[in-house]
Amino acid sequence: MTLLPTRALGPYTVSSIGLGCMNLNHAYGVPPQEADAIALLHRAVDLGITLFDTAALYGLGDNERLVAKALATRSEPVTLTTKCVLDFVDGKRSLNGAPDAITRTVEGSLDRLGTDHIALVYLHRLDKKVPIEESVGALVRLKEAGKIGAIGLSEMSAATIRRAQAVHPIAAVQSEYSPVVRNPELAVLDACRELGIAFVAFSPVARGLLAGAVRKADYAAHDIRAQMPRFTEPNLTHNLQAVDAYDALAARHGMTPAQLSIAWTLARGEHIIPIPGTRSIRHLEEDVAAATMALPEDIFAEIDAIFAPGAIRGARYAAAMQAQIDTETLPGEDLA
């Protein structure tokens, strides 16, 4: 097992880069064969990754089962996190932040993960029908019962984070963050730094946009990018102009676009932990290499110039999904 630099995640010390496990059987078209997915998870452990992120929602629970099966055969210590509030109930996607629903989902996760204790559980989304204090309270009771070790939030605003923190210390906040997606810079990154909360950056390569994976809108069936405005036409053609400039910048510095994006994310703060996801062992190895890549100071201004306001058009999510997001929006951000 390789040793990577580490960062704090609440009470835990984890590798500075984690692994987002969602795409191993959820949201990006046909999933890989189970044996291939397990091989990738094992390689992640070999490379020194100790933080693995899953959720009850992913693959109707199959993602949790997959991760548990893969990690059960390894003796290396890892920190496993999952999420509640978003779940599948009777085969339908459900958003429910009521305490009884949270308890039910976490109990299901414990069963699927084959454990009696989960290191950290996030509230996957804010259920606007339920006060955040009640949702956090449900996780507090599960923590007091010894079933979880720490509490996290996902895609929530600084104001919501502060309300949650008043109920119980929050260990981590997870949101999308990359050179393309800067919403956390409005308030959440600063709130997390002030409150001593780790910020876990999902999609640090912008769902493949900054990894050479998106060149045209020809997505496989069930790929969520086919419903995301910035990944569909006419926005995609416009957005790829900025991506081309970014790719050239990475090449000039001897890095892959994904490595530049992950190194950039790490450099934005010592409390930030990116969790890229991939189905490719080669890409996984490239991603992990970014943990020790230093960036020249002037590259940050160059990236800011490439992704200046207007460089990326289209919302992060389709309207129905965007309605479930509590994070701040940038001035003039295109939500159409």
Residues 6+ apart with CB under 8 A from 114: 68, 72
CB 135 within 8 A of CB 165: no
Following DSSP, what letter does each residue of 149-218 receive, concatenated?
Answer: EEEEEES--HHHHHHHHHHS---EEEEE-SSS--GGGGTHHHHHHHHT-EEEEE-TTGGGTTTT--SSS-
Taking the mean position of all CA atoms in its chain, how far away is CA 38?
Answer: 20
DSSP assigned state of 1? -
Active-site residue, selected from the candidate residues 12, 28, 58, 246: 58
CB 2 within 8 A of CB 48: yes
Taking the mean position of all CA atoms in its chain, how far away is CA 117?
Answer: 21
Nearest to 155 by CA among 322, 336, 331: 322
Strand partners, 272: 199
DSSP assigned state of 273? E
Q: Could you count the other beta carbons within 10 Å of the beta carbon of residue 332?
A: 7
- Kindly compute the dihedral angle of the four CA atoms of residues 28, 251, 300, 47, in this order, to the nearest 10 degrees: 60
Specify whether 58 is catalytic. yes
How far is 125 from 83, CA to CA, in rounded Å? Answer: 9
How far is 214 from 222, CA to CA, in rounded Å? Answer: 16
The one-letter amino acid at 136: V
Q: Which residues are catalytic?
A: 58
